[in-house]
Structures are given as structure tokens and as C-alpha cells.
Chains A and B, each alone.
Chain A
């Protein structure tokens, strides 16, 4: 038995189209997850105990159930409550909400890790609460959450593969389909692994580059 990658690579344009969908869902989904996670963490931090307790419920449910179960519920269960979404929209929504739960926890930890003395120093020079949040707390929190946020984005990239199961025409679905048509299952899986790994390495390189650029801003 020999590997024949040519049958897979011959479908280059199709694979690229799948890769495009993967990158689109990953980038847009991560951006939405970061934004929603930030809103949730900020509301929990400053919204009082009731808001904190209420928002803790969805965060815990989303972190406590498999992503696959969540997207099945959204895509196949949605129509029962009148939520009919096309696969890409469902995938994007599912990934954003799932990622938001994790990002909200990353940001919550970030808020907690800003040394209280830095906030007191801001108070002492007369910055208002709003100014302290805007000019001190948020920038310092952003520095603290950068490494775990980049890590989370890599996890989300790999989780996009699960969206093939709700027929999102992303890379895993595209390449698996080619593999089935060409009777080249293992080759297709190897190609998938290599492309995902390449993407992850690229993301990690970008992350390291960014971290190096801001290393002199370390929060102590």
C-alpha cells in the first residue's frame, strides 16, 4: 500500500476554498468570541453580584458541555424553537458563543491579576473611576491576557474542524469528501493534519512575535 497525495492535491482549488471558509470562521468567530467574552467579563466585574451570578450560569454550561453537543443543539435543535440557521451561520454563532465563555474567564482572571496598587496609584493622582478603567485597568489587563488569548484562539482554530459535522463547507469537510471520492482516506487525513498544524504554527509565530514586541511592558 502506498500513499498517493497527488489525488488529494489535484483538488487544490477545492481545498483552498475549504481553507478559506475555515480561516473566515476562525477569524470572525474568534473576534466575536473575544468581544462577547470581554463584555461578559466586564459586566461580571463591574455589574454587581447579581449580574455576576446570572452570567456565571451560561458560562459554566458552555464550559461544561462538549462543543460538538452545543453545535448539534444549535443546528438541529434550533428549528424546534424557530431558529433556522444555515450551516455557516450556525457554525459561526456556535464557535463565537462557545469561545466567548472561555474568553470571559480569561478576561476575568486578567482583571483579577492587575495589581490593586496600580489602581490605587491612579486614584491617588486623581484619575476618575472611568479614567482608571480606560487608561490603567484595561491596557494592563490586555497585556496580561494576551498569551492565554492567543492559546485559546489556536484551540478555536482546531475546533472549527467539528463544524464539518453540521455540514459547514470548511476544510475538514472538503478534504474528507475528496478523500472519500478518491478512496484516499488516510492521505486526506494527513493533508488535513499538516494544513492545521501549519496554520497553528503560523498563529503561534504571530503570537510570539507580538509578545516579543511588548515584552518590555511586562506587568509586575
Chain B
């Protein structure tokens, strides 16, 4: 069996008294798109943030391409990774946020080239050439010298995707990438993500876009109250949901869809 891109074992996490993740076990296969769905507060974003090293699990382990993330096992038990170790561990991961999180004082090109220059120590010209190639990939080369405030939400999110891709990640994590966008603008972002999936990028996507999960996802994971209740191929999840909570969750989407069609 080939090693998973991300392996999550017995991960639990709580904020204060609230348990947000309960004993999660999940393998993210290489080259596939795994979609995390579930109601608000189900823990899907927290799980993704744990995979990005932005949150530390209270228990359990996460490995990225076989290397531990967040913690290392030492002779005295496990300890948190140092900032440098954490940076190394997540260097193969690209992260895209719901709120884009572009840096407002840099142009689109500046946002995409910043890490190439500062982290990879590329000369400015080389970094900008590479950044420009990434912007071309998301069809935004013409907007390279615009600041985030001069771009639409969809364009900002595409710049954010280009920024993450510039570092040649092998895994891309998306945290509700279209939730902050007008319905009209979600399409352009989803198209970029589709193209990435077609190239064989390993992706984990927290999404409410059931249509995207159904058509692009190789695996759909349903979380509820911090538990991973169900994960399977989209046809099995959506065509014949066997879990009553999942059925209930999907019904609300179908109802809304029915309302829209009327």
C-alpha cells in the first residue's frame, strides 16, 4: 500500500470545555481530492487547521508525507515542534483561507513572490518571474500589479491560490474557499481548483459546495459534533447516504436546491 499524503490518527482537540475533534482517524490519499463536509461547528475547519499546523491537536498524531507535524517523539515523550521544525514539516503544504488573507500592502505579484524571496531566498527577478507564471495559471497575469483592494473577491482568492502554489506544495488545503464569495464569483475559484485536481494535486477541501464535492471529490468525509461519522466515495455518500445524520444534513441542501428550482 502506498503511503498516504496525510495520515491522521486518533486526533482529538478541545477549546476550553468544548470538544471540537473526537478521535479522528483519516488517511488522505496522494493525488486525490478529499472533501470535508458537515454542519457549522462540526470541526471540519479545525481539522484542516490541524493539518496545516495552525492548531495543535491535544492528542493523536498527524503525519505529512510520513513526517510528523506539530509534535515530535523524544526520549521524554512527545514535545511540540519548534517554530523552525514546524515550518519544515509544513513546507509541502499550501493553505487557502476562507477570507483570502492577502497582504493588503503588497500587489498580487508581491503577495505571490514574497515567500519565494524571503523564504526561498530567490533573487527578486527570478521570484517575480515564477510568481507571474503562477498568476498566469490562475488567469490573473493582467492583474499582477493590482493591490488586493482593487480585486474582486474571486480574483483575491485566485491570487491566494497562486501564492500557495508558488512554493510548489504537494498538498493543498482549502478552508471554505468560496464561502466568502458572491455566488457569481464562486465559479472562477472552483474552476481553478478543478484544474488543480485534474493535474493530480493532493487536495483537502472544507466546503459547503456539495456539487463540487460530488463532482471533483474522490472522497467525501462527513463530520458532525467533532466526529468523523462517515467517509466514502461521493457516489456512495450522496446517492445512498446510509448515515441518518448525513441524510438529514443532505436533505437541507436538497430542500434548498428544490426551492431554487421552483
Q: Do A and B truly interact?
A: yes
Within residues 119 to 142 of chain A, which ones have a CB less than 8 A from any CB in chain B? 120-129, 131, 135-136, 139-140
Q: Which partner residue on chain A sits nearest B147 by CB separation?
A: A216
Are A125 and B164 neighbours in the complex by a CB distance under 8 Å? Answer: yes
Are B103 and A218 neighbours in the complex by a CB distance under 8 Å? Answer: no
On chain A, the number of residues with a Cβ less than 8 Å from chain B's Cβ atoms is 24
Bound-state CA distance A115–B53 (Å) is 18
**A-binding segment of B57-65, B87-95, B200-208, B221-229:** B87-95
Are A120 and B87 neighbours in the complex by a CB distance under 8 Å? Answer: no
For A128, give its contact among B87, B99, B102, B164 (CB under 8 Å): B87
Bound-state CA distance A122–B103 (Å) is 9
Are B105 and A124 neighbours in the complex by a CB distance under 8 Å? Answer: no
Whether, in the assembled complex, B83 has its beta carbon less than 8 Å from a beta carbon of chain A, the answer is yes
Are A140 and B114 neighbours in the complex by a CB distance under 8 Å? Answer: no
How close is B124's CB to chain A, nearest CB, in angstroms?
14
Bound-state CA distance A127–B93 (Å) is 14
Whether, in the assembled complex, B248 has its beta carbon less than 8 Å from a beta carbon of chain A, the answer is no
Which of A121, A136, A139, A143 counts the most chain B CB atoms within 10 A? A121
Interface flags for B52-85 (1: CB within 8 Å of A; 0: not) read: 1110000000000000000000000000000110
For B104, give its contact among A122, A128, A143 (CB under 8 Å): A143
Bound-state CA distance A118–B111 (Å) is 11
Bound-state CA distance A143–B103 (Å) is 12
**Contacts A143-B105, A220-B104: A117 and B99 contacting too (C-beta < 8 A)?**
yes
Bound-state CA distance A136–B119 (Å) is 14
Whether, in the assembled complex, B152 has its beta carbon less than 8 Å from a beta carbon of chain A, the answer is no
For B95, what are the chain A residues with a Cβ–Cβ distance below 8 Å? 120-121, 124
Whether, in the assembled complex, A219 has its beta carbon less than 8 Å from a beta carbon of chain B, the answer is yes
Bound-state CA distance A143–B148 (Å) is 14
For B83, give its contact among A118, A125, A129 (CB under 8 Å): A129
Are A135 and B101 neighbours in the complex by a CB distance under 8 Å? Answer: no
Whether, in the assembled complex, A202 has its beta carbon less than 8 Å from a beta carbon of chain B, the answer is no
Are B99 and A127 neighbours in the complex by a CB distance under 8 Å? Answer: no
Whether, in the assembled complex, A217 has its beta carbon less than 8 Å from a beta carbon of chain B, the answer is yes
Are B149 and A126 neighbours in the complex by a CB distance under 8 Å? Answer: no
Are A115 and B99 neighbours in the complex by a CB distance under 8 Å? Answer: yes
Within residues 114 to 170 of chain B, which ones have a CB less than 8 A from any CB in chain A? 114-115, 118-119, 147-150, 160, 163-164, 167
For A131, what are the chain B residues with a Cβ–Cβ distance below 8 Å? 118-119
Are B115 and A127 neighbours in the complex by a CB distance under 8 Å? Answer: yes
Within residues 99 to 127 of chain A, which ones have a CB less than 8 A from any CB in chain B? 115, 117-118, 120-127
Bound-state CA distance A22–B232 (Å) is 74
For B115, what are the chain A residues with a Cβ–Cβ distance below 8 Å? 125-127
How close is A39's CB to chain B, nearest CB, in angstroms?
22
For A140, give its contact among B52, B99, B105 (CB under 8 Å): B105
Bound-state CA distance A118–B93 (Å) is 17
Are B118 and A124 neighbours in the complex by a CB distance under 8 Å? Answer: no
Bound-state CA distance A120–B167 (Å) is 16
Q: Which partner residue on chain B sits nearest A126 by CB separation?
A: B119
Bound-state CA distance A124–B95 (Å) is 7
Bound-state CA distance A20–B138 (Å) is 56
In addition to A118-B101, A127-B119, A216-B150, 4 A-B residue pairs with Cβ atoms within 8 Å of each other are: A117-B97, A121-B163, A125-B164, A127-B114
10 interchain pairs, CB-CB under 8 A:
A120-B97, A120-B101, A121-B95, A123-B87, A124-B54, A124-B90, A125-B114, A128-B84, A140-B104, A143-B105
